[in-house]
Chains A and B, each alone.
Chain A
Amino acid sequence: MLELSVMSYELLDHTADLCIRVTGGSFSELLRNASLAMMEQITDRDKVKPSAREVFEVAGETKEELLVKLLSEILYLHETSRLVFKDIRLDVSNEKKAVAELSGEVYNPGKHELVNDIKAVTYHNLKIENVNDKFTADIIFDI
């Protein structure tokens, strides 16, 4: 069973693109929830088997940059390795670096419906807010 209880996001209206509001109890959880939200917007995670694994490292000078780089790397793997995703594990150090372990499988058109063709993660109006250890970010994706 997926850890859906910690996944927290909602879709906001954006005229041309896709906007997601993500929350988390820590910066690391925000990163994880943003990743899961994006994966969910690519395809239904319930229909994805965790048969493949990808490990990578990302770094950013600010929290926002780390977030965008993490999501961009997932998109890159989606497009170049044709992967759809089940889950992500993250090890975040000093808010500037993260090691991610993705699970998923190769996209199978007979099994996985592509919900959104997300092409890029933008920095537009991106600001990670932290109020009483509740982290929030509105992320706009180019679709």
Chain B
Amino acid sequence: MRIEKVHDNLWEIPRTGGMLVPGRVYADEKMLGRIKEDKALEQVVNVAHLPGIQKYSIAMPDIHWGYGFPIGGVAGMDAEEGVISPGGVGYDINCGVRLMTTKLSEKDVRLRLKELVTELYKRVPSGAGMSGDFKLSKDDYREIFSKGSRWAVERGYGREDDLVKTEDNGHFPGADPKAVSRRAFKRGMEQIGTLGSGNHFVEVDIVDKLFDPGVAEVFGLKPGSVCVLIHSGSRGFGHQICTDYIDTMISYMRREGLNLPDKQLACAHIHSSEAKGYLAAFSAAVNYAWTNRQIIMHSVREAFYETFGITERELGSSLVYDVSHNIAKFEEHRVNGDVKRICVHRKGATRAFPKGHKHIPEVYRTVGQPVFIPGDMGRGSYVLVGTEASMEETFGTCCHGAGRMLSRRKALKEARGRNIIEELGEKGVIIMAKGKRTVAEEMPEAYKDAEDVCDVVHNAGIARKVAKLRPIGVIKG
């Protein structure tokens, strides 16, 4: 495969064969070497075959081999002529991250950190298929599907200002419970308010370093203060919707005679009834995921009150933002000089709109949209801010995480004979996890350094570094 250098942090795969657009990969030279080791670049090429794709098939520096789309893949489709691909969103529809700040300092929590992590672990159910403490009726779930985070706030699991600082105010229009299969319904019931397994987590962090104090101040990030990062998605509900509609799309493609290099890219033209069905069910899952993170944040707040015997006034918690990194959205973007309506697929990639954009909360309009890049459990996470260049180059998008480097199998091998929980404990990070394997699979060495990933997007100009967060407590599935 030919790869040409555009600049130090950007590479282009020229069009060949059935590619409709070139591929573009944000990475430095060293990272690119590693990226070439698995099949992620082949996937960038495959995505370039999707009907209606505009400009480039894009990959972020945290790119790694997924299924269908690469993880870290971005593709903008013409909303009139193009397609939507459930695999381009991913199984975990609206998987995302939210960051909550507090007035507490490290000194305030250090002595009772163990109790805090235990309390979080108790209050936020985690692990495979785990059901939550929220026993809700079918009608409640229907309301969640159509209302999103507002449902949680109306029930007392949050505040109005939480909604203001959630992407799209935590509500995605167009959800139709009738487009959701009985099976998806069944998988989604009982899982609201739960974390899940794998790389999902609740992480207690300290604001460790500011790169841009001015923007950090607007985001409410004070050096040395305690904050909490929450990473989860739409659980079994989103997975079943994706599974159901990939089958629907495969039948559509067969009927329409559409051929693609990988079946997992199965798609349908946006105007087809199949795509409309998917969008109606997908929107329900997007709302489910936002409600889920809202409820988890409520449980996190309660864990702080309980552990430290304080009230909200003393905790002073505030949501910075909630961003999705597995989603498809209709947005306006400039393509060859014209403003077009584009369906932007972000599969393991985060929206990163610049200052002044009408779709970001008013409080951030002078600086740009906050973006959160969770790192591994040892080396810390990053807060970035969106820029103008991302609108020009990447449909207003940047990276979403550190990106896996080792397969889970290799990570388990590396971890053999070691006690990862103890090792991280010595570094001041307390971890509680449901599965012993999870901690080994998710150990820091399994990931690229989030700093390297953030440096690439920072140096390429598609987002700017604002702050670094240092983990002190983590719960995982």
Shortest Cβ distance from residue A26 to the other chain B in the assembled complex, whole angstroms: 23
Chain A, 62-116, CB within 8 A of any chain B CB: 64-65, 69, 72, 76, 78-80, 82, 114-115
Which residues of chain B have C-beta atoms less than 8 A from A123's C-beta? 67-68, 246, 250, 262-264, 266
Interface residues of A in 111-143 (CB under 8 A from B): 114-115, 117, 119-126, 140, 142-143
| Secondary structure call for the A interface | loop
A142→B91 contact, CB < 8 A = yes
Bound CA span A79–B47, Å: 31
- A18 and B408: CB pair below 8 A? yes
Contact B239 A82 (CB under 8 A): no
Q: Determine whether the beta carbon of A114 is less than 8 Å from that of B435.
A: yes
A residues 2-34 in Cβ contact with B at 8 Å = 11, 13-18
The answer to whether residues A64 and B263 also contact, given A15-B64, A15-B407 and a CB cut-off of 8 A, is yes
A11, A69, A122, A126: which contacts B247 (Cβ < 8 A)? A69
Judge whether B351 is part of the interface by a CB distance below 8 angstroms. Answer: no
Q: Does B427 have its Cβ within 8 Å of any Cβ on chain A? A: no
Contact pick for A65, options B183, B186, B239, B250, CB 8 Å: B250
B172 within 8 A of partner (CB): no
A124 partner, pick from B236, B247, B264, beta carbons under 8 A: B264
Are A120 and B64 touching (Cβ within 8 A)? no
Assuming the contacts A16-B404, A79-B187, A117-B128, asked whether A124 and B437 have C-beta atoms less than 8 A apart, the reply is: no
Q: Does B292 contact A (CB under 8 A)?
A: no
A18: B residues at CB distance < 8 A: 408
Query: How many residue pairs at the A-B interface have CB separations less than 8 Å?
Result: 94
In the complex the two chains form, is A72's CB within 8 Å of B67's CB?
no
Task: Give A53 Cβ to nearest chain B Cβ, in Å.
Answer: 19
Contacts of A16 in B (CB 8 A): 64-66, 71, 404, 407-408
Residue of A nearest to B129 (CB): A79
B409 at the A interface (CB under 8 A): yes
Does B91 lie within 8 Å of A61, measured CB to CB?
A: no
Does B311 sit within 8 A of A, measured CB to CB? no
Residues of A within 8 A of B92 (CB): 119
B198 contacts partner chain A, Cβ-Cβ < 8 Å: yes
Contacts of A65 in B (CB 8 A): 247, 250
B68 partner residues in chain A, CB cutoff 8 A? 122-124
Judge if B197 is at the interface, Cβ distance under 8 Å. yes
Please give, as numbers and ranges, the residues of chain B lying within 8 Å of A82 by CB-CB distance.
129
Complex alpha-carbon distance, A17 and B236, angstroms: 17
Interface pair B409/A11, CB less than 8 Å apart: yes
- CB of B242 closer than 8 Å to a CB of A: yes
Task: List the B residue with the shortest CB-CB distance to A64.
Answer: B263
A15 lies within 8 A of B236 (CB): no
Given known pairs A117-B197, A125-B262, A142-B91, the reply for A13 and B236 (CB within 8 Å) is no
What is the minimal beta-carbon distance from B199 to any residue of chain A, in angstroms?
9
Tell me the minimal C-beta distance from B193 to chain A in angstroms.
Answer: 17
With both chains docked as a complex, state the minimum distance between the C-beta of B235 and any C-beta of chain A, in angstroms: 9
Measured CB to CB, the residues of B under 8 A from A are 38, 40, 64-68, 71, 87, 91-92, 127-129, 183, 186-187, 196-198, 236, 239-240, 242-243, 246-247, 250-251, 254, 262-264, 266, 404-410, 435, 437, 477
The list of the 4 closest CB pairs from A to B, nearest first, reads: A124-B67, A117-B128, A123-B263, A122-B67
A-B contacts besides A15-B405, A17-B66, A64-B263, 9 pairs, CB < 8 Å: A76-B187, A78-B129, A80-B183, A114-B127, A123-B264, A123-B266, A124-B68, A124-B263, A142-B239
